[in-house]
């Protein structure tokens, strides 16, 4: 089973395909500059609305999108940080600062 997202294809593993019928699997596809796949946007909006109904807070949908945005930014920061090579003579300096 595959899902078309942003012009690419996501292969769904067998463990996801064999979920009970009571489960709903929706792949969430995000791009760094803010684009969200339409099916993902619809799903997240529905989840936010249900959270709002459960908590009584009308801002839950906005909070959900903010949390996802922060998680994406943090992940990108880690990836950028891990892509730098620290020269051997400077490794002790960075360890002492952190």
Domain assignment present for 22: yes
Domain assignment present for 77: no
Higher pLDDT: 95 or 74? It is 74
Q: Is 43 exposed, middle or buried (0-12, 13-18, 19+ CB in 10 A)?
A: middle
Domain assignment present for 73: no
Say what the alpha-carbon torsion angle 60, 63, 67, 73 is, to the nearest 10 degrees.
150
- Predicted pLDDT at 68: 87
Number of separate domains in the chain: 1
Residue 45 has pLDDT above 70, yes or no: yes
**Four-residue CA torsion sign, 50, 27, 71, 41:** negative
Domain assignment present for 31: yes
**Four-residue CA torsion sign, 20, 52, 66, 3:** positive
- Predicted pLDDT at 4: 54
Domain assignment present for 84: no
Domain assignment present for 82: no
Structural domain for 18, as ranges: 1-64
Q: Using pLDDT thresholds of 50, 70 and 90, give the confidence band for residue 30.
A: confident
Q: pTM of this prediction?
A: 0.61
Least confident of 3-7, 49-53, 86-90: 3-7
Residue 98 has pLDDT above 50, yes or no: no
Domain assignment present for 24: yes
SS3 content of the chain, % helix, strand, coil (to 5): 55, 10, 35
């Amino acid at each position: 089973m595959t899902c078309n997202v942003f012009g690419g294809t996501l292969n769904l593993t067998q463990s996801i395909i064999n979920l009970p019928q009571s489960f709903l699997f929706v792949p969430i596809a995000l791009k760094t500059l803010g684009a969200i796949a339409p099916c993902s946007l619809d799903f997240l909006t529905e989840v936010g609305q249900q959270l709002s109904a459960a908590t009584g807070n009308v801002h839950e949908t906005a909070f959900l999108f903010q949390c996802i945005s922060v998680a994406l930014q943090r992940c990108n920061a880690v990836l950028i940080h891990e892509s730098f090579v620290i020269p051997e003579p400077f490794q002790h300096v960075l360890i002492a600062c952190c």
